[in-house]
Amino acid sequence: MQRRTVLKSAAAFGLVSGLGISMPLFAAAKIKPAANAALIVVDVQNCFIEGGTLPVKGGAEVVPVINKLADAFQNIVVTQDWHTPGHASFASTYAGKKPFETTKLSYGSQVLWPDHCVQGTDDAALNKDLKLPTAQIIIRKGFHKDMDSYSAFEEADHKTATGLAGYLKARGVKTVFVTGLATDFCVAWTAMDARKAGFEVYVIEDATRAIDLNGSLAAAWKQMAAKGVKRIQSTDIV
């Protein structure tokens, strides 16, 4: 009888697996974002959604998820890719280069993309179905002609700051929840740079979609985990 009581107690804390007994665990605690948390919505723009110049498969599916999540946050940041014509990240800028090839730039290897998110075009606009009336700031990135910027915190040289870290710290933000497009590029770089800047970081997986270029999605999750980024679902937020 005493052994049964011990096993029941152990099961509640997930401690019985070593005994070879399979028993259900309690569900993980839900997360209620506090006043010192921020939702970062990365690049939910027409260019990255079906019909755009660099569409991410299923990109439009993140919009209703993000809209619902927004109700749980007092602080919301939106980012936009905001490239010049003839940007260094465009394959069309280089003779003989094709999209998704790479080239060497001053800061290292650069994936070359189709022309996308050119400043002031409808392609670069935020998706019309995105409803974030309480968002306080839009961070535009990638606007230096000779340098790309996947991250909302730093440009691709890992030196040039966007100012987002300072803004969030001035607002007392300690934790960020990252959503948007694409998981394996701008979302991942934003999340890892947020960790580098000292924030606790969650990526809300079902509020992102990936390009998955040559295994880039699996590699991105591995890199994020190594940096201490936590992977959750929108249903974990209350």
Active site annotation includes 97? no
Of 43, 148, 193, 236, which is the active-site residue?
43
How many angstroms separate the CA atoms of 160 and 205, rounded? 28
- C-beta of residue 116 within 8 angstroms of C-beta of residue 130: no
The DSSP element (H or E) to which 110 belongs, if any, is strand 108-111
- C-beta of residue 110 within 8 angstroms of C-beta of residue 148: yes
Token couple for 30: 């839900």
Name the residue among 152, 194, 196, 154 with its Cα closest to residue 175.
194
- C-beta of residue 113 within 8 angstroms of C-beta of residue 86: no
Of 141, 184, 193, 236, which is the active-site residue?
141
How many angstroms separate the CA atoms of 28 and 11, rounded? 14
Active site annotation includes 157? no
- C-beta of residue 162 within 8 angstroms of C-beta of residue 40: no
Of 115, 117, 123, 186, which is the active-site residue?
186
Which residues in 97-107 are b (16+ Cβ under 10 Å) and which e? eeeeeeeeeeb
Pairing of β 102-105 and β 108-111: antiparallel
Active site annotation includes 47? no
Which residues in 55-83 are b (16+ Cβ under 10 Å) and which e? bbeebbebbebbeebbeebebbbbbbbbb
**Catalytically annotated residues:** 43, 141, 186
